[in-house]
Structure 1
Amino acid sequence: MKKTIDRVDENLTNCLASLGVLCLMTQELQHARLFLKRVALLDKCEEGPSSLITLESQLNIAAVYRNEGRYKSAIDIVEATLSTVLNNKWESGWCDVLCNCWISLGVLFASIGDAKHGCSLLKKTRQEYSIILHLGSVCQMVLVFGLQWVVA
């Protein structure tokens, strides 16, 4: 007897994603990682490995790793996501994922002590995407006089 897998319930995926983000915000990192990895797996099975939704899920996992201090793992995920975005057919909405990749890499490099490289990535992102950056607690960047980034 062949067993078929039903399409993923979107409400379940959204619930797991919300729980993962909530756990990340409350620093319950083990639970956050569990929920967000499950969401990424469901997205990958449902949408494919290079879909926009899957790539966004991967960036959420990188955020968990960053908060756990597992910077190498986080950088690997972000670089793989960035590579996928740059090497695939462009879709609408990918600009946000691309921008989030550059921001994540900037924060990660600043977090591992390469503040110069991290700040240059953040500055480049700000210039190219005309965004106002508000970053999390791991490495908060402050724009001083509109010219220079300072690691707080």
Structure 2
Amino acid sequence: MKPKVELIKGDITKIHADAIVNAANSSLLGGGGVDGAIHRAGGPKILEECRQIRNKQGKCKTGEAVVTTAGNLPAKYVIHTVGPIWNNDEKKCSELLAGCYKNSLELAESLGVKTIAFPNISTGVYRFPKDLAAEIAVQEVKNFQTETIEKIIFVCFDEENEKIYKKLLNE
């Protein structure tokens, strides 16, 4: 089954979906950007579950994904994935970013999620080039085979990312 792909310009913390993806840092303890916004809007329950995950497995590795409740957010789950920090090693960074999308989608599918929303992973303080990040995101989503996920939403916070995604999705 091919899920429907949607593009929204807005705030991921306000999106009604079964799962939203958080561009987390490896500590899982909240941070800046989308990570901080999700923790603030979702409340202390998310942080509490992130601490439990950390106590069990240690830090979350780049490219991997873990799940918590969504607390006060209009979603059921928050899937936390750690994007790569851009260091000009295009091959390695691209593989790690692709892993973020693939692992988040696989985790969502294992939870029976029907709708999932992604932010623009690694394109903020991690400085991943926006064009390349969008290409990887769209590619991973288009290649993903699923039995359960019906809709994947790209949520762009800024106009620049929105334009890039719009162009890629209309090709």
Q: Which interval holds the TM-score relative to the shorter structure?
A: 0.3 to 0.5
> Of Structure 1 and Structure 2, which has the larger fraction of its residues in helix?
1
TM-score, L = length of structure 1 = 0.37
TM-score, L = length of structure 2 = 0.34
> Of Structure 1 and Structure 2, which has the larger fraction of its residues in strand?
2
Q: Which has the larger radius of gyration?
A: 1
